[in-house]
């Protein structure tokens, strides 16, 4: 293995450990009941974070993929294009959201996050179905949704 690749792996692991320790130290309070949401807007591996209240979907309830990470975490940066693709390709069938827990540490506490990135899968009623820690490829995310019985291939019916 070449030295630059080894250094990149060590840097990624170091960032992940630092993030985990930081989140663990902030976990001493009980999760809050806030309902703030941060939307993903990834462009060229940079993230624009916007906060606003969770709004009901115009087309009704949708399953949701929530990714909690940080804009400067290497595995989190690797997730941005995946999340952006999912958000565009499955618009109207899947909500995809990103929360930067370094900018919003209360969110890390709220969701009980210990390591980033963490992806949380919710059904259309908001029930947590599954959690994954680390990078999660698009194909694996889609396979997980299918394994959870959520059909993202089906287009929403008109009027729903």
CATH node for 3-147: 3.40.30.10
pLDDT for position 21 = 58
pLDDT for position 5 = 72
CA–CA dist 129, 82 (Å, integer)? 20
Helix (H, G, I), strand (E, B) or coil at 58: coil
73 annotated active-site: yes
pLDDT for position 127 = 96
One of 73, 82, 96, 113 is an active-site residue; which one? Answer: 73
CA–CA dist 82, 136 (Å, integer)? 8
- Are 108 and 68 in contact by the 8 Å Cβ rule? The answer is yes
pLDDT for position 9 = 74
pLDDT for position 36 = 30
pLDDT for position 116 = 96
Neighbours of 131 (CB within 10 A): 14
Domain boundaries, the chain: 3-147
Q: What is the pLDDT along the chain (160 residues), one digit of tens a residue?
A: 677 777 667 666 666 665 565 555 544 433 333 333 333 333 333 333 333 333 334 446 999 999 999 999 999 999 999 999 999 999 999 999 999 999 999 999 999 999 999 999 999 999 999 999 999 999 999 999 999 999 888 766 555 4
pLDDT for position 55 = 37
Rg (CA), the chain: 16
One of 62, 65, 76, 120 is an active-site residue; which one? Answer: 76
């Amino acid at each position: 293995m070449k030295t630059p690749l080894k250094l990149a792996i060590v840097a990624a692991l170091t960032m992940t450990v630092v993030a985990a320790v930081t989140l663990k130290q902030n976990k001493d309070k009980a999760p809050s009941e806030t309902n703030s949401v941060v939307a993903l807007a990834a462009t060229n591996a940079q993230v624009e974070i916007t906060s606003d209240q969770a709004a009901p979907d115009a087309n009704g309830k949708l399953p949701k993929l929530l990714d909690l990470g940080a804009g400067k975490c290497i595995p989190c940066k690797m997730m941005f294009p995946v999340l952006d693709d999912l958000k565009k390709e499955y618009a109207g069938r899947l909500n995809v959201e990103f929360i930067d827990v370094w900018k919003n540490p209360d969110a890390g506490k709220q969701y009980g996050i210990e390591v980033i990135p963490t992806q949380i899968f919710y059904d259309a009623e908001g029930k947590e179905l599954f959690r994954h820690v680390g990078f999660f490829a698009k194909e694996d995310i889609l396979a997980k949704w299918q394994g959870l019985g959520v059909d993202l291939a089906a287009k929403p019916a008109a009027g729903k």
